[in-house]
Structure 1
Amino acid sequence: MRLNFTSKIIEELEFENQMMDRYIKKFDIKIELPEEAPASDTNRKRSRSRSRGAVQDRTLKLTAEQKCTIAQVEIEDYKQDMAALKASSEKIIDGYKAIIEEADIQLKEAKKFTYDFEKEVIKASYQERFHAVLAERVMRFLEEHIRGRDTLVEQLRLKNSTLKIQKKKLMAQLRQKEEMGEVLHEVDFEQLKIENSIFLASIDAKNHELLRLKLTAGRTLQVVNAYREKEQVEAATAKLKQLIGDYRVPAAFAYVDCVRNMRTLRRKEKIHERKVAIAKVGEARRPTSERSCWKKA
């Protein structure tokens, strides 16, 4: 029992010595110990040496106030270490949370992609005869998916650039306050966090509004193109109607004259063809000498 009590006292003294050692090293305190008595004085009476040793022990002991000061410094150090450890742990936890959130988002996107692919491609274009799906449907689905990803990337890029601008503004404000010698308290940081969250919410709303306006502009452009095509068709129809309206059927006598003239021309054409054929036959029957003379002439 006494051994346990003594061990406990030794542990407490060692702990106090460690605290004292850290305190001395932190503030660079130099302790001057009293000089030892000369060897010739050792022959004095034992009572006087004991009394001197007791006095020296009393001078080396710390008062309760000094112990309290050292304990307070040690507590502050522990608080700072705990705060640093807490900040580091929170940073690590935030990193893990971000990784988990990213994995959840990717998992949801993969499930949605699988569901949409089965719904829009496999079920809609599966051919029992060939046990395959249409390649055009697959390509169209992939192109639409890529366009959606591009839209998301553009939205995230705008959000990232906005956050970078906001970060630059906050860093400029922080540098300005540091140059002016203003001390930022915890309340100021909380206020900045609140303002930052408000700005982020506003930026997110503006990004959604921008995306909505882009979609509206796309639909409006499609409607405008449809109206333009409709106007072109209406203009072509009106032109054809005008041509049909301006067309006049010729009179019956004019038609009869045209038919008579056509028949006359056909008879003349046949007569001319007969004359040409007769001339060719006569030319073939002439003697060779006559033909050569005729050619020379």
Structure 2
Amino acid sequence: MLPLWVWLQCRINSDAWHLGSENIRVGRDLRRSSSPTCCSKQDQSPIFTRPRRKSKSRVAADRFIGLTVEQKNELAQRELDETKEEIQQTKGDSERIIQNYQAVIEEAAIRWADIKKATCNFNKDIIQTISKKKGSVIASEKVLRYLEEKNHYRDAMKEKLRLKNDSLKVQKKKLQLQLKQKAEMGEALHEVDFQQLKIENAQFLEKIDERNQDLLQLKLTVGNTLQILNSYKVSQASGTCILFLLISCRLQNATTASARLMKDISQRKEALEKMERETILVEEERAKAESVTMQLRQQLSDYRVPPVVKYVNQKMAVYDLENNIKIWERKVEIAEVQSFKAGPGY
């Protein structure tokens, strides 16, 4: 027994082959119908191979052999008219057949595109998965799910087409009812007395004239009202101009004051920044002074008064040194005087 996916693939291929053959056959029939003179008698469509019926004028011509020229002309004219009618009928039938074939070709093309799309999707979603996982339960479930989805899609499409068909039927009934009502109204209008309609028309024309007079009077009133309104608008516009000038002056003054205030604010900001910088410097100097003060206080706290004897000895030593300095200064002065007296050669 063949696997399910192989059977589905064969079924899709057979449907595609039948659709292709049907498309080729329809195209061949369309070509035959479009060029009947170029085909043989065996290949022609039945609409072109049916025997031409014998006209009544030709039968009459066979019965009555001795005919005048006028009668022959009349018979020829009838034959020509019948031939034209047959040509028109044949042309209409041919066009109808061509349209049917074109519709069949379009339907076949749409079906062929759908089959190709379904085949591609089936190969992509099912065949590749089954070829990778042969004999797996998941692949079989996937195939069944695919078929169920297709069935659901067809059911949904069927329901959609049914609803559309119902709506078209309802619309058709409405249109038929409207046509029937229009036909009944037309018949009723034919039964109306036209003299009465003329009288009513004259009355309506009189009413229209009265309404036109009223409309003219209303137009005059509207014109006067517009003139008064324009005068009010002019006065209001002058008042608006004065108000605008006042507002402009106030705005200019406010702008000047704002500029002045902005300048003052900028100057105050600069002064504030300068004061902040000076404050920072003063804080630094204060910190330095505090550190020096702390050092001095530390030294003051560490200071010890020397003994009195040591102080006396120090004072005596200082006194002796001062005396020695004076003695040496005196000796230097004496030496300078002697050297000056001795002269430069000394």
**Same fold per TM (> 0.5)?**
no
TM-score of the superposition, structure 2-length normalised?
0.30
TM-score of the superposition, structure 1-length normalised?
0.34
Larger RCO (CA under 8 A, 6+ residues apart): 2
